[in-house]
Structure formats: C-alpha cells, structure tokens
Chain A
C-alpha cells in the first residue's frame, strides 16, 4: 500500500512537470530609451520604463512559458553595475546599454549572433550596425539602432536666423558647404542682439567634453586627420592634417569670433543650451536632437518648440564631408541552457522585427533595418525629410572615428578631452596638445596589445 502511494506521488510529480513545465526566465537590462509603445498618450512625457515593460509583456503573451524581467539601469551607473554583475556572475542574460568592451567577447563571455541571423537580416541590417560588434570573425551585437544622437554626424540649422542673415539654408542642406563658405556664413550669423556693443549671439557654440569630442573630431577628419594608421598599431592624430583641423576649430573662437569663448568648460548640454535658447544658430546632432527639443517642451524645460533642419558638416574644397556613423544593439551573455538561448534570440528577433523596431521612430532614432527606415515618418513630412537627409548623409559619408571594436578609445578619451581643454584655454597649441595626446594614447595602446 505504502509503496503504491509512493509510486503514485512520483508519477504525479512527473506528470505535473510535463504538463506545467518550469518557466524560462529571461532577464535583460536597458538604459532609459524614451520610446513610446503603441497607445501611449502623445502629451505624456516618457520615463524610459514604458518600452521595456511593454515589449516584455508582449513577448510573454506570445510565449506563456517564458517570464521576461527587465531592469532599467541609468547611464551613470551602468558601467559599475555591469562590472559588479560580471564579477559576481549575476549578469543579465542580455543587455542594451552605453557600455561595451570587446574583451568580453575575447574572454568568451558572449554569445555570437551569426547563427541566429536570417539571410534577410544579413541583407537588411546596415553594415555599420553589424560591424559594431565584429570581433575575431564573429558578430556579437544584435543590431537595433543605426547612428547615435547624431553628434559628429550632422548639424542642425535654425532657419529663421539664416533667413534673417540672408543666407540660403536650402543650398547648404542640398549641396553642403566648404570650410571657407562655413566661416563666411558663421560671420553673418554672429551679432549683438541687445545693442550694447557686445556680441551675444553666435553662429555656433563649441565644447571640449562628452559628445562634443565627436563634433571636434568631425572637423579633424574632414581636414584629413585620422586617429590611427591602417592596422591600428599606432595613434597618428598629430598629423599635419589633424593639427590643421583642430586649428580651424580654435580659429572659430579666437580668430573669427563666431563661437563663444569658454569652450574648455562647456560640455554637450552647455552647447545644446546655446542652440535651444537661440543664442547660437547652428547646433549639432541628428533627428534625436530634434526630438530633444519637443521632449524638453513637454517636460517644461523649454518654452517653445522650433524646427531646425539637418545639414552636413562643412567640407574641405574638393573633399567629401564626414559623418560619424555607428550602430548599436543588444549583447547576449553566454548561455548554458540551449532552450533558454533559443528563447533569448527569439525575443531579440521579436524586438527587432519590422513592426517593433519601427517604434524607434518615436525617439527620432534610425533603426538598424534599411527596409524600415524608408517607411518612417510617413505622416510627418518635416521629420520624414530630416530623417531622409540624415540617413543619406550617414550612408554617403559615414565613418567610424574611434577605431575598430578592439581599439581602446575609451581609455584614451580623457586624454583627448584634456588636449581639447588645453587648446581652448590656449595653454597649448593644437600641435603640442595633439603631440601630448598621441604620446599618452600610444602608451595605452602598447599596454593593451
């Protein structure tokens, strides 16, 4: 009797496990991406929580045997949280964040994505997006976004100021501008608004910190400067071309007076503030930065919306302009359970299918899919035009400024910022500042090789 009960109990357990199998739990991290899910009220400001919540729930509806847990991690704390998680082996199953280190892939911590991409995906994703995680013959970043906030890629023109100064902004948007034309136009956009004899309105503002590095590098690259030699064995950013590019940027402040002094203390938000308050006519960035204007209005940080147009950076006569282009996406940590691995990639396919990836439109970002970008902003002619322009510039002139995935730019960045600070504060000449940067950068490069 007792044996019979035991057998019955074990049988019930087995049947239970078969009928109600344990759920697969997928945990993922994301930094705040203010994407509006379908049905989100247009006048309600986004926190960044809405999209991961919505997409996780939608996937769970399709796969009741999967539980998806998302964690919203702020940009500021992302790096240390992820480092601590990796060190204690509590990392998420996959993540999208502002951090990436190619050593993760080299150490075997990540899953390559190659086997999970369909032929259609290979054809549809931009090369720059696939390149973003290409290490030792394998791809490690599942493409989602093409381009960044547009810093170093395109400029924004506040057209009323251009019209007031009698400048044909349409010509700039369509045909571009040479460095000489750029300087002359900037001079026309610099004036004294209140008549006190002091210039208080500038063509543009410059800075040394944060993403302003991208914008300064654009000028350096446009003049022919490059960060490294072909095989990335040496940093060569002190070449005569690079020095000329940096000198040009400095001249905008010191020689032509078309940008305010104090650039050494300005970060990207300081520069954006000049543009938002119409103290500068030219801003930096792409569609995302246009979206920032409407977002700031919704959040009460800006009184009135305005609608700038996207234009390429100026170019050297006879040469093409340059645009910083890079893709980003999801990174999957190594999985031991093949079933769970399958579901993670299923979730990534779900997030990046044509319908769901198109939600990036609400954030004014380009998607990693060529096919989707053609369909964006069909009902908004202004944004449609800006996105088309941005996409066109990126396609034609897009380059990576910071070397391949294996290049340790993140460790060099602070030395480059110090070089820019020295140049803007005039404590070093562009030549001396770049020489010093190259010395430090090559030391770092040697150490990491």
Chain B
C-alpha cells in the first residue's frame, strides 16, 4: 500500500519516464528476453525444439567460440586503452588553443565518427594491400620488406587494432573537451603558483576531475569494441586461420550462414553477460573515487 502511495505521489515523474521506458522495453528488454528464450532451443528458422542448456554446453566445448572470445578480449583490451589514451592526449594538447582552433581539431578528429565504418574499412583494406598498399609503399621506401598485414596471423589483429585506434576516439575527444572546459581555471592557476609542473597538473588535477567522463567513455568504448563486426566482416572475414574472428562475427555466421539461431542466441547471451560483468567491474573499480 505504501509503495502504491509512493508511486501515486511520483506519478508525473513516471509519466514522463514512460515513453523512454516503452522504447527501452520494445527495443532492448524484449529482444534480450527473446534471445534468452531462443538460446534454449535448437532453432533454425524452420523448426524449433527445446533443448535446455545444450547450446551453452556446445559453445563452451567449441574451440572456435573460445578462440573468438579470446580474440574479442585481445581486440577490446588492445583498442580501448590506446584509443582512450589518444583521446585524452589530444584533448589536453588542444585545450590551450583558441576556440576556433580547438573546434577545427575536434571536427577533424570527429569526422571518422560520421563516416560509414564500411567505407573506412575499405580504405584501410587498400592501405594494408600487400602489393599496392600505401603502407607497404612506405615500407619499401624505407628499404624494408613488404608485410602481408592482413594475411599473417601475427600482424592481422594488431593491424585491425591500429586502424581502430587511429580512426576512433572522435566523440570521446568532444566529450572530454566539454568536461575539461567545466574544470574551474583557478585550479590550474593555483597549481602553477604552487610550482606544479605540467605532468603533476595533468595527473593530479585534470585526470581526477575528468574521471566521470573517462569512466563513461571506458564503459561505452568497451561495449562498442566488444561487439566489433563491420571491420572484421569487410577486411578479414575472421581470417587468416580464424586469428581475427570475434564473437559478434561468429554470431553472425552462425545465425545467417548456418541458420542456427538458437546457438547464435546462446553466443549472444554469453557476450551480454560478459559485457554486464565488465561494466560492473569498471564501475566498481574506477567509479569508487568519482564525484559527479
């Protein structure tokens, strides 16, 4: 009764929340619920048989899924720190400039963000081309042997990570710049008067005060990179020898090449649980000192 009264009291608040909640329900909760449900079936579009946890058993016994999972972790933890570090560095470097110059740089770094990831992948495919590619052209100019960047097990994943780090971070730079602009100027002035050097100012003032934004960028970046698909699809199709296969790509091939939607749903659920877990860890670990 008490609860109902509370809800009634806050009815206007709930009313305004309702549109968002309905969209969240339709586009997130129901699909996730359906995914959990389908993962318990041998479902191949034309027939559906309940098999309990068999799909989960199968994927944990499948070396390809384990490889995809390891690759996904390597990719995510390869990209996210470098990309976040790059965004932070660029933000700090452009901060002292006048507004038009800052805007110019922010625009430049944001451009890849509004370009189709497929187009970006196609351009990089050309850059990495073993015979006509730009990268090997420079390698030859420097007297080095050309490298088959995407055809070698050892270089394929680092190439994809490098591409993502170079092209990514635009939106984070914009976010961090906005957050940095909200740090009172007198903090920096006081630190300078006290004799703090640039590194001290960066590590003791800038980074701690940017922590909420960094945390947000870290969580969102981890989620986005964990689900990476288009660059794998366009550039390597998981090869060579499955060295760049990721869970998202495996989910795609399992669902739409093999028509095994039950198994693909189980893979998606594992990915979902891992991402929730990573999100919780990141909030616990980095969120303890954050002042919002």
Hey, what's the 0/1 contact readout for A275-311 against B, CB within 8 Å counting as 1?
0000000000000000000000000000000000000
B283 at the interface (CB under 8 A from A): no
CB-CB under 8 A from A361, the residues of chain B are none
Interchain CB contact under 8 A, A418 and B258: no
Interchain CB contact under 8 A, B130 and A265: yes
Hey, what's the 0/1 contact readout for A193-222 against B, CB within 8 Å counting as 1?
000000000000000110000000000000
A101-B259, A411-B258, A418-B239 as given contacts; A83 in contact with B151, CB under 8 Å: no
A83-B45, A262-B131, A264-B151 as given contacts; A418 in contact with B261, CB under 8 Å: no
Q: Which of B149, B241, B253 has the most CB of A within 10 A?
A: B241
Interchain CB contact under 8 A, A418 and B130: no
Interchain CB contact under 8 A, A262 and B259: no
Interchain CB contact under 8 A, B240 and A265: yes
A103 at the interface (CB under 8 A from B): yes
Q: Which 4 A-B pairs have the closest CB atoms?
A: A265-B151, A262-B130, A107-B46, A421-B240
Interchain CB contact under 8 A, B148 and A109: no
Choose one: A79, A262, A417, A422; the contact of B257 (CB below 8 Å). Answer: A79
Choose one: A79, A87, A425; the contact of B240 (CB below 8 Å). Answer: A425
Interchain CB contact under 8 A, A260 and B131: yes
CB-CB under 8 A from A260, the residues of chain B are 131
B47 at the interface (CB under 8 A from A): yes
Interchain CB contact under 8 A, B257 and A410: yes
Interchain CB contact under 8 A, A421 and B241: yes
In the assembled complex, 19 residue pairs joining A and B whose CB atoms fall closer than 8 Å, in A order, are A80-B256, A103-B44, A103-B259, A107-B47, A109-B46, A209-B239, A264-B152, A264-B239, A265-B149, A265-B151, A410-B257, A411-B257, A411-B258, A418-B239, A418-B241, A418-B242, A422-B240, A425-B148, A425-B241
Choose one: B150, B256, B258; the contact of A265 (CB below 8 Å). Answer: B150
CB-CB under 8 A from A330, the residues of chain B are none
**Chain B interface size range:** 20 to 34
Choose one: B45, B153, B238, B258; the contact of A427 (CB below 8 Å). Answer: B153
CB-CB under 8 A from B152, the residues of chain A are 264-265, 425
A86 at the interface (CB under 8 A from B): yes
Choose one: B45, B237, B253; the contact of A209 (CB below 8 Å). Answer: B237
Interchain nearest-CB distance for B143 vs A (Å)? 13
Hey, what's the 0/1 contact readout for B223-255 against A, CB within 8 Å counting as 1?
000000000000001111110000000001101
CB within 8 Å: A-B pair count: 78
Q: Which of A103, A208, A264, A411 has the most CB of B within 10 A?
A: A264
Choose one: A264, A410, A417, A422; the contact of B258 (CB below 8 Å). Answer: A410
Hey, what's the 0/1 contact readout for A375-409 against B, CB within 8 Å counting as 1?
00000000000000000000000000000000000
Interchain CB contact under 8 A, A86 and B46: yes
CB-CB under 8 A from A410, the residues of chain B are 257-258
Q: Which of B45, B252, B257 has the most CB of A within 10 A?
A: B45
CB-CB under 8 A from A427, the residues of chain B are 153, 241
A104 to B239, CA, bound (A): 30
A414 at the interface (CB under 8 A from B): yes
A100 to B185, CA, bound (A): 65
Interchain CB contact under 8 A, A87 and B261: yes
CB-CB under 8 A from A28, the residues of chain B are none
Q: Which of A398-449 contact B (CB under 8 A)?
A: 410-411, 414, 417-418, 421-422, 424-425, 427
Choose one: B47, B130, B253, B256; the contact of A83 (CB below 8 Å). Answer: B256
Q: A261-B148, A417-B237 are in contact. List 12 more A-B contacts (CB 8 A).
A: A83-B255, A101-B259, A103-B44, A104-B46, A261-B130, A262-B148, A265-B152, A266-B151, A410-B257, A411-B257, A418-B239, A422-B241
A107-B46, A265-B150 as given contacts; A83 in contact with B259, CB under 8 Å: yes
Hey, what's the 0/1 contact readout for B61-85 against A, CB within 8 Å counting as 1?
0000000000000000000000000
CB-CB under 8 A from A422, the residues of chain B are 240-241
Q: Which of A82-134 contact B (CB under 8 A)?
A: 83, 86-87, 101, 103-104, 107, 109
A265-B150, A265-B151, A425-B152 as given contacts; A208 in contact with B259, CB under 8 Å: no
CB-CB under 8 A from B256, the residues of chain A are 79-80, 83
A414 to B244, CA, bound (A): 13
CB-CB under 8 A from B261, the residues of chain A are 83, 87
CB-CB under 8 A from B131, the residues of chain A are 260, 262
CB-CB under 8 A from A80, the residues of chain B are 252, 255-256
Hey, what's the 0/1 contact readout for A246-267 against B, CB within 8 Å counting as 1?
0000000000000011111110
Q: Which of B137-154 contact A (CB under 8 A)?
A: 148-153
A424 to B152, CA, bound (A): 10
B237's closest neighbor in chain A, by CB? A209
Q: Which of B130, B151, B257 has the most CB of A within 10 A?
A: B151
Interchain nearest-CB distance for B117 vs A (Å)? 14
Interchain nearest-CB distance for A441 vs B (Å)? 13
Interchain nearest-CB distance for B225 vs A (Å)? 22
A80-B255, A80-B256 as given contacts; A425 in contact with B151, CB under 8 Å: yes
A447 to B240, CA, bound (A): 25
CB-CB under 8 A from B151, the residues of chain A are 262-266, 421, 424-425
CB-CB under 8 A from A109, the residues of chain B are 46
CB-CB under 8 A from A104, the residues of chain B are 46
